[in-house]
Amino acid sequence: MITISNLTKSFGDFDAVKSVSLSVPEGSFLVLVGPSGCGKSTMLRMLAGLEKPTGGTIAFGDKTVSDGERGWTIEPAQRDAGLVFQSYALWPHMTVAANVEWPLKVARMLPAERKARVTEVLSLLGIEKLSHRYPNEISGGQQQRVAIARMIAPKPRILLFDEPLSNLDAKLRVEMRTELLRVHRATGATSIYVTHDQVEAMTMASHVAVLKDGEVEQFGAPEDLVSRPGTAFVATFVGTPPANLVPVAPAGSGVTMAGRAMEATFPLERPAQAMFRPEDLTVSDTAGPRTIAMEFAEASPVAGRMMVTGTRDDLRLTAVVDSAPRFAPGDPVHFTLPETPAALFTPEGERLS
């Protein structure tokens, strides 16, 4: 449904998006995830037609909608795509029903058909009782439902979401994730969703593109990114909690792990970053042959287990354990590493194994 080829967007000397290529199957739910400034919102704006690419092309189906080399782009209204903004962007002087009906008026749908479609989408979002209220008379979560209803009313083939849940509280975000997925399934449209929240990405997506500095670090199914991260950045960005990276180097017949000499239990020819999953680490208040001493930072319950985090200089380790001794912030805590890391990366972040 969506093909992005060598897509580039520059602002002066700054490249916000750098030669990105992706192919998105019809009916997919693609999430663009990454830290602030990675280029994900710029990509979404180019997909919506709000920004012209500097280079590369975007095609919806067999129709090219933007061509950076030729310097043209199809207008947003002609793309058969809907967009939901982070700020809802509802018209304050219109009722809920009038907000949803507006794009249908622009499309010159007959009045009877418009009213039937408005009733249908308000019912789908569970807000039919709010039809006569104004935006300032309803909650933030209800406003977001109105914005989604307005987007899907004209039945676009492509749905674009620009961090639509970031203004909601934690509980409502969880509820709205379920609502968005239900809308996605009900419409059958292809969805592109931008977020910096990797929990949203991993729970909602059929496909995930992890972006960093305007480039795609890895593209694939959520479970693939967690089980086999392609770079050190992906390893430490996805997952709840994400994987741990520990600097390791050969030292005589052994190795050093985070500066501590240990027995060599896996082949290593040069300095690297060893990846350990949080569930494979254990913690204690005493040192052992494969422990790294850290300062206790925090502990929190997670699904019946305990997530324990320690820090030391630039190193941060997290273990998910059944139980742990009581620690106070700043107390020494010893993390025991398994004999074999889940993966190795170069110091620059490229995967070795």
Q: What is the pLDDT of residue 140?
A: 85
d(CA 107, CA 77): 10
d(CA 264, CA 136): 64
Cross-strand partners of 256: 249, 261
Taking CA atoms, 196 is separated from 48, 117, 237, 314, in Å, by 19, 33, 10, 22
Taking CA atoms, 307 is separated from 7, 129, 205, in Å, by 40, 43, 25
**What contacts 62, CB < 8 A, 6 or more positions away?**
none
Cβ burial 148-184 (10 Å sphere, 16+ → b, else e): bbbbbbbebbbbbbbbbbeebeeebbeebbebbeebb
- Taking residue 75's Cβ as centre, other Cβ atoms within 10 Å add up to 8
Token pair of 160 as six digits: 């674009």
* 211 backbone dihedrals φ, ψ, rounded to 5°: -105, 145
Taking CA atoms, 30 is separated from 9, 200, 268, in Å, by 20, 11, 37
Cβ 49 vs Cβ 65: under 8 Å: yes
* 341 backbone dihedrals φ, ψ, rounded to 5°: -70, 155
Domains and CATH numbers, the chain: 2-237 (3.40.50.300), 244-345 (2.40.50.140)
Q: What is the pLDDT of residue 10?
A: 94
Mean pLDDT by 10 residues, the chain (353 residues): 94 93 93 91 94 94 91 89 85 94 91 94 91 92 90 92 83 85 89 88 91 94 92 92 94 91 91 95 92 94 92 94 89 94 95 85
What pTM was estimated for this model as a whole? Answer: 0.87
